[in-house]
Amino acid sequence: MTAAEPGGRLPDGFAVRLDPRTRRRDGGAALLGGSPLRLLRLSARARDMLAGDRLVVRDATTAALAARLLDAGLAHPDLPPALAVEDVTVVIPVRDRPAGLGRLLAALRADPATTGLPVVVVDDGSVVPVPVTAGVRVLRHGASRGPAAARNAGLRAAATPFVAFLDSDCVPRQGWLQRLRPHLDDPRLALVAPRVVALDAAAPGWPAPYEAVAGALDMGPHPAPVRPGSAISYVPSAALLVRRSAVGPGFDEALRVAEDVDLVWRLTAAGWRVRYEAGAAVAHEHPATTGEWLRRRAFYGTGAALLAARHGSLVSPLVLAPSSALAWALAVAGRRRGRAAAAGILAVDAVRLARRLGQPPPVPLAAGLVAHGSAASGRALARSVTRHHWPLALAAAAASRRARRWVAGAMVADAVLAWWPHRARIGPLRFAAARRLEDLAYGAGLWTGAVREREPRALLPARPPRRPEAAAMNSSPSRE
């Protein structure tokens, strides 16, 4: 099975709604939002079609406009749950997890929408083979070939146009598949993923409260397009719904980690859309012990080098514009004069951006965008210091008192900013301690993988791809 080419417009009746964070500018003539943040200008005809926050596709013109809004991250599909999902096969890879598999199969049977769906369980070399169960097709690998190979075996066995992958340590919430399936009415959508939440926030184990609010598999509460360089650059393979014709042979079986990231990036590079649907939820059983949790994080970190070998700078842990990097370097190292020079660089950036955004130049808007970008760059730098490049930060702190102050400040700022949205659910000290331990483990795995694979691109910063700060939104179908 080879991958098909993406094609076709959004069908009539498909609806999108503006993201609540998208702002109208210039009396509705422009939209500001998305990730990366962008300003899109609307033609007069497009403004008429988008008088409200919801757009229903009725013809080729509205289909083109809706598609542009989706691809810019300014709007998301606004679709009712599917009434039926008979065109989906559920594929479950499993190895030595009989209790989890039984729990997952029971959850599928308990959900009226998934009762009776074809289910393929791929036993990836379990010590005790998975028994044959009524209504379930079991495929067995005599020796473990990895989760990617197990999923691909199930993909080949499926006869339906769509396949839902569920790991055996997951329990889908009722209605999950009905929320995901309508997304695939978009013929250019290859894959859609639900939100992966903690199975039990009160589970035993020290990491449990942290995992409940900041789990590595949880992509957050907002729907989004998925692509490199955006707020959500990948989705985990713990739970996915895919179009068989789009994914072709499936996952790269040479990868034992990061195979989900690789698949998403290959799909987007081929022109397919990938989406994250936060309104559908699948619960995941997280590691119970601190040691297992940290080993899992380190294992995830080793995948960056493998991705760098396939996708180059897309995996860069730090993406900064040269002017932002210079401004922060001056602010950190140059004391008062350095901070003044940094402010001057940002002011020049704001003036240049204002000139590109239109006439007369919207200086306040440009200044706000530059300030927003600078703050985001600062947060990315703090994250790099505490997570991806902590061995270098540790060495600098050991050699310089001033570096110690900056590293300590980055650690505190990163922890506080990340904890604040979850302050009602977890205390700051537990959150900060867990975040620092998680970052140490991930960074250790990252450096281990980079050295082992001799792949420095997994560690090197990159500059953002060039793109226009403002783009005209033409309602012509030819722009789609």
Residue 208 half-sphere exposure, CB side, CA atoms within 13 Å?
Answer: 11
Alpha-carbon dihedral of residues 389, 391, 392, 394, nearest 10 degrees?
120
The whole-number pLDDT of residue 365 equals 86
Q: Are strands 170-172 and 119-124 parallel, antiparallel or unpaired?
A: unpaired
Distance CA 180, CA 182 (A): 6
The whole-number pLDDT of residue 464 equals 86
Q: Is 201 helix (H, G, I), strand (E, B) or coil?
A: coil
Alpha-carbon dihedral of residues 116, 120, 126, 130, nearest 10 degrees?
40
Split at pLDDT 50, 70, 90, the class of 1 is low
pLDDT digits (tens, 9 = 90+) for 244-290: 999 999 999 999 999 999 999 999 999 999 999 999 999 999 888 99
* Whether the predicted pLDDT of 234 surpasses 60: yes
- The residue type of 261 is V
pLDDT digits (tens, 9 = 90+) for 83-116: 999 999 999 999 999 999 999 999 999 999 999 9
CB 186 within 8 A of CB 225: no
Cα–chain center distance at 477: 29
- The model's pTM: 0.93
Share of the chain above pLDDT 90, in %: 81
pLDDT digits (tens, 9 = 90+) for 404-428: 999 999 999 999 999 999 999 999 9
CATH 3.90.550.10 domain extents, the chain:
88-294
Q: What is the full DSSP assignment across 277-317? A: EEEEEEEE----SHHHHHHHHHHHHHHHHHHHHHHGGGG-S
Q: Does domain 88-294 have CATH number 3.90.550.10?
A: yes
The whole-number pLDDT of residue 315 equals 96
* Whether the predicted pLDDT of 17 surpasses 80: yes
